[in-house]
Amino acid sequence: RGARRGRVLAAAVFLFTVAASLNVISNSASPLHESAFNPLRPALSTLNDDPSNRRSLSVALPNGGCKVTYASVSRRPIHPTWQASFPGSGSRMTWSLVEALTGIRTNDDYDSHERGFERVVAVKTHYPVKDARGKFGDLDPLFGRAMVILRNPINAVPSYFNLQYEHQNHLPTHSTRGPNEAWVNYRDSPTNGLAYQLTHYENFVSYWMEKYPDRAQLLMLSYEELTDNFMGPIVAAHIANYLREVDGVYPIAPESIPCVWETIVNYKNIAPPTKGTVSAIMGEAQEQQMGEVHGRQRRLQVEEDPIVLKKGKTHADPSSLRVGPKVRPYTEQNLADMLAMFHRLVERYSFDQDFVRIMTSYIEVVLNTVPVNG
């Protein structure tokens, strides 16, 4: 209970900071002063100095609105950032959000989209769980920083199972959750089941926690906070601020970040798209409001004319509209194995307060999960 109160207090401090920052942006003609307390630090003067550098995606509209169009590769080389996650942890959604925030294309470590690695803002990887055909070691010298998206394995492993189930049964990606009978067989498999996945999860976390001793080179995020209605826009602001540190990356104006988050991440509050258009995805979002922020209401705004999403789209695309069972059964031993892993990680990386906070929230979820037999 004390930990929960601490998280609520921390969230309140973050929200106050964001609200204050947004109020300054809207009511002052001068740029914000740089401050460690301000998580947005927009560097507005830099954004306005060179019109040729202004981004074309998720255009900022008045009163915190935005319109989502297309990202493109950078016109000049930039230093990319690793976007690392364990499989099943929302990498596709985060990929879309990064493009919407920066206007620059992303890629993956397989170079699936043939965009290369020197003109993209971030590169998705699941290393060391997957090694991009053995090329990770050759690519890594191009990178000097990473943002890591963690997700509680109690949900990440089933999500990864769903993806494998779809592939094995020749189903569209992100369309189906496998039946619980198939999940139980997968969970208990000695070759690639839960115990095997937890080992890979722990190795994944350890690799990225130890890769960058300088925490200025590492942004640690949680999928749960990124998708939370309260914390999500704040986490998105942290992502934009972190990527802004890269020369040549100019994210959207901070006051429009909540609108971008609503468009890309919070699509589940809106009817699914019917014809692949941004307007369809947003649905009635033009009439919705984000809620009061420092005494002002922010109305979501999107383009009035629909934009048909072309082949190869990576944003404004619901990352998970799967149908099927959402709750997966775990045995008492399964839950005990997860807790043991969390405690090992917390003890190993107790120096990192953000990481400990995330792991503590995962421990709480597992402790509150009722085990089932079989």
Q: What is the DSSP annotation of 33-75?
A: PP-TT-S----HHHHHH-GGG---SSEEEGGGEEE----B--S
Q: Which residues contact 9 (CB under 8 A, 6 or more apart)?
A: none
- Closest by CA position to 122, among listed 137, 138, 142: 142
pTM of the model: 0.74
- 120 versus 48: which is more confidently predicted? 120
The predicted model gives 53-74 an average pLDDT of 71
52-56, 79-83, 172-176, 294-298, range with the lowest pLDDT? 294-298
Q: What is the pLDDT of residues 306-364, one digit of tens each?
A: 333 333 333 344 445 788 888 999 999 999 999 999 999 999 999 999 999 999 999 99
148-152, 168-172, 245-249, range with the lowest pLDDT? 168-172
**Residue 83: pLDDT over 60:** yes
Interstrand relation of 81-85 and 146-150 (parallel, antiparallel or unpaired): parallel
Are 46 and 34 a contacting pair, CB within 8 Å?
A: no
Q: How far apart are CA 93 and CA 239, in angstroms?
A: 13
- High-pLDDT (> 90) share of the chain, %: 61
Instruction: Give the angle subtended at the CA of 135 by the CAs of 74 and 165, to the nearest 5°.
Output: 95
- For residue 78, give the DSSP letter: -
14-28, 31-45, 255-269, range with the lowest pLDDT? 31-45
Question: Exposed, middle or buried, 34 (CB in 10 Å: 0-12/13-18/19+)?
Answer: exposed
Q: How far apart are CA 185 and CA 195, in angstroms?
A: 13
- Residue at 210: amino acid letter: E
Q: How far apart are CA 183 and CA 161, in angstroms?
A: 7
Q: Which residues contact 52 (CB under 8 A, 6 or more apart)?
A: none
- Closest by CA position to 275, among listed 307, 321, 322, 312: 307
- For residue 321, give the DSSP letter: -
Q: What is the pLDDT of residues 263-292, one digit of tens each?
A: 899 874 333 333 433 333 333 333 333 333
Q: What φ, ψ does residue 359 adopt, rounded to 5°? A: -65, -35
**Residue 229: pLDDT over 70:** yes
Which pLDDT does position 326 carry in this prediction?
86
**Residue 126: pLDDT over 90:** yes
Distance of CA 339 to the CA centre of its chain: 24
Q: What φ, ψ does residue 61 adopt, rounded to 5°? A: -110, 165
Which pLDDT does position 212 carry in this prediction?
96
The predicted model gives 34-54 an average pLDDT of 35
Q: How far apart are CA 174 and CA 194, in angstroms?
A: 21
Q: What φ, ψ does residue 84 adopt, rounded to 5°? A: -105, 140
**Residue 302: pLDDT over 80:** no
13-22, 180-189, 313-322, range with the lowest pLDDT? 13-22
Strand-pairing partners, residue 148, are 84, 220
Q: Residue 327 region, left (φ>0) first, then alpha (ψ -120 to 50), else beta?
A: beta
How many Cβ atoms from other residues are within 10 Å of residue 362's Cβ?
A: 23
